A and B are shown apart, each in its own frame.
Chain A
Amino acid sequence: MDNLENRCRALAERIYDFDTEVYALSGSTLGRTLISPKETCIEDLSREMMVRPDGDLVTSYLALISKMARTIPDRKQRSRLMSEYNQIFNEVKALVPEVATSDIASSDRVRLNPFVMTTTRSFTTKDRLIICIGRSYGSGGNDIGFRLADRLHMNYYDATVMKDVMERLQAEREAGAELSAKNGQAGGTPQRRISKGISSDEAIRQMTAQLLEKNRRLKGIRRWLSNFNRYHGLPEEDALFFNQSDYIAKLAKEEDFIVMGRCADVVLRNARIPHVSIFITAPFKNRVRRVMSMHQIPFREAAKLVKRMDHEHSRVYRRFTGYEWGNATHYDLCVNSASYGIDECVDLIMQMIKARVRLDLNLPPRERKAANAGTGAGTRPAAGSGSSSSEGGGKSAAEEGGNSTAKAAGKTAKELWDQAKT
């Protein structure tokens, strides 16, 4: 099987490279056949070839690439690539009698799950620890995530932090572009601006602030037109999700963190980045009771709020992932917080992480430091530090302190709903 897997992967790599070459030689700008990132394409193709080498996906990709190859203007190159195509096609065909009939699709999930130690590629301390927590409203998921981040000294990202970061990053990009356009028009350079007493960083910062303020003030059709231009014709919600997904995937290569919601589990799965996905929920009545006591609102209002928030979470999750929100089969671990309480939930998850992912946490602090010195794990950015902080990233659990949800006490359900929607 290993041999077959290796051959499928090698063949998938050849198909990807073949498509890249065909597209380059065709000179087209209208789009290539294999559009996902290289690693994703290769994994998809090799997985498909291990199950159905003669299936629709592989054959239609090959047919489309060959069609494009036939349009290459240079005859020699065309004939060389067509021979290459024939070779690939024959090799793919030769796989048909070899493939196993059993379904191996779940191996994909296993590979991305750091809890599992029996995979071909086990999780190491060099890998980033990313915990994605989905939660139903009122289940204490946010508190669990926050305390977990505190215990693990990791950055913590929730909707509010993420929204601020995304808005600022977008405004920074726009400010940078606007500034360079202005400098270009005036025939000036960043250096000239510095000589006038304003550094380019400072100028970008000022313009970012102005843009943020301006964008927040826009309303109605002007806001719609501005967003149409900013987001290349995409709906604002979608563009923000795309930017946020890119940011999460980028962050996952740089630091350990905990992210609440944001469909991060599916974003990371699609980006082939190992992570732990957890869903925290509790019975409806328990959640309503918690929301009542937290926000000091009557039962009816709390129940309504919980239902609305669940509905909104479900809608967003389905829209961007195609999956059913809260369906246990999509997560590595599901916890009923009503059975354990917030602290016990944190302990439970910590135990799993210590047992499976971060064995170094079992050691006393001094020994841990020494053990991590060689692996790089000890040098991971702790809460409030690291690369994200420099970009204004996640909030540190230690910095934040206290229960963030408790601060909301006294607000009306409508206010809470509006806040939650953001």
Chain B
Amino acid sequence: MNTVIPAWLCIPFAGLLLCVALLPLTAAEWWERHRLKAVIFWSLLFAVPYGVLYGAGASLETVLEAVLNDYLSFIVMLFGLFSVAGNITFTGDLAGSPFVNLLFLTVGTLLSSLIGTTGSSMLMVRPVIKMNSWRRRKSHIMVFFIFLISNMGGCLTPLGDPPLLMGFMRGIPFLWSMHLFPVLLFNMALMLTVFFLLDRGKYLQDVAEGLRPDISKPGTELSLEGTHNVVFLIMIVAAVVLSGTLPSNPAFIGPDGAVKGIRVFGSVVLTWPTIIECVIILASAFLSMKTTSVRIRRVNHFTWGPIAEVAELFIGIFITMQPALMILRDLGPGLGLEKPAEMFWGTGLLSSFLDNTPTYLVFLTTAGTLGAAEGLVTTLGTVPVRLLTAISCGAVFMGAVTYIGNAPNFMVKSISDENGIHMPSFFGYITWSLRFLIPVFIIDTLVFFL
């Protein structure tokens, strides 16, 4: 498509986001029952006018492209990690005190770079909920959980967050992201300090009301059940890495230079690397469910509710955000963003609402076309290290700004909601981001990106 598509085509995306934000507050029962219908409505509201403007074929192609090439691998990975992590249970009698919470958030954040933000979130969310079950004020713990474990922690390796995997596929060395360690460390120090002080205040409020954990049993016993599922977790991580590396393998490249796959419709191809990734992940999930006792899922309060909610909402989000991504692809390189701070905020703010992987790619491509003499040599051109740092941090960190900024955010909210934690609404969560995250990003800009 050569012409820039009209901006009004983004209205369905905005409409869907508003539904996600407002309906759970104003008409929760209705939203619960008719969520999927609302998603279909907004998706059609994009596809039909788009079909009228550019032809039914182009519309179907755009929708299929979004569903098969973006949404499918996204939801399969989420499903796999959700299923496998739900089969691992952490039993123990650690009480959720500010220090213990701090410890868990630190470990979870660092774990995110090893098994991905989604994997780490799914693995840690239940133990954290369980430890704090004696407390009344605990939604802030889950909010900081999303900030740190579900987002920031994923910046150190391509395994951490999909945008970095895309960068790795474009020629950025696997361990290059370790350069972001000082930024992560700095942010962790700031965020965890703020968290500790906040949590301490809330903890003391709970204590003042007479709430207290059961510490009658002498000594602390911790144990993990379903540990064999770690093998399946590793399989899923390996599948994600494969999906990133196989497309550059000559065996998967066709004579036309495109990645081989099954042609579905028009130019939409379901590539073999995606199929392989999905098969491995689904097989892992299946084996995990078959080899783990139902008892473990029961004590974990494992239900399909959270993944069903995410699957329903995100198919709509992936479809309706296409016009916004097209506009970004068309206008991104011409925006004149050349400085690290601009790249950090540009990539970040768009990643807060759009899928951070394409956003990252748009800005990486822009940086690659600036013609820098020094920097990292990628398939998109030479990218100055400071620009790459800013783009990577923006894409990974600012996914935490909204519930839809990164896949695990909504999952954590949904699981928390089901387990007696009153999570903030969509806008309520954004106010948390404005109060705690944005100031940290401003400090990041001053320290690292000016």
Contact = CB atoms under 8 A, between A and B. Distances in A.
Interface of A: 26-33, 35-36, 40, 60, 63-65, 67-68, 70-71, 73, 170, 173-174, 176-178, 228-235, 238-239, 241-243, 245-246, 266-267, 269-271, 319-323
A232 B418 contact: no
19 contacts: A27-B298, A28-B300, A29-B91, A29-B300, A30-B126, A30-B301, A35-B133, A35-B420, A60-B422, A63-B422, A67-B418, A177-B217, A229-B219, A232-B213, A234-B213, A238-B207, A241-B207, A320-B208, A322-B205
Contacts of A64: 417, 420-422
B395 to A, nearest CB: 32
A40 B211 CA distance: 10
Contacts of B299: 27-29
A35 B19 CA distance: 32
> Interface SS of chain A: helix, strand, loop or mixed?
helix
Interface stretch (B93-101, B148-156, B178-186, B323-331): B93-101
Interface in B192-241: 204-205, 207-213, 215-220
A267 B93 CA distance: 23
Contacts of A40: 210
B212 to A, nearest CB: 4
B220 A228 contact: yes
A173 B216 contact: yes
Interface residues of B, number: 45
Contact of A245 (B136, B212, B219, B298): B212
A29 B94 CA distance: 14
Given A29-B130, A30-B300, A173 B218 contact: yes
Contact of B99 (A28, A235, A266): A235
B129 A30 contact: yes
Contacts of A231: 95, 215
Interface string B35-65: 0000000000000000000000000000000
Given A71-B418, A238-B207, A266-B208, 16 more contacts: A30-B133, A30-B300, A33-B420, A68-B419, A68-B420, A71-B305, A73-B303, A174-B218, A174-B219, A228-B220, A232-B215, A233-B99, A234-B213, A235-B97, A269-B210, A322-B209
A70 B208 CA distance: 32
Q: Is the interface of B mostly helix, strand, loop or mixed?
A: loop
Contact of B95 (A60, A170, A233, A243): A233
A380 to B, nearest CB: 26
Interface of B: 28, 32, 91, 93-95, 97, 99-100, 103, 126, 129-130, 132-136, 204-205, 207-213, 215-220, 298-301, 303, 305, 417-422
B420 A320 contact: no
A56 to B, nearest CB: 9
A36 B134 CA distance: 8
A338 B133 CA distance: 47
A71 B299 CA distance: 13
Given A30-B130, A233-B95, A322-B204, A177 B219 contact: yes
A232 B130 contact: no
Given A71-B301, A234-B95, A235-B99, A270 B218 contact: no
Nearest to A26: B301
Contact of B215 (A28, A63, A242): A242
Contacts of B130: 29-31
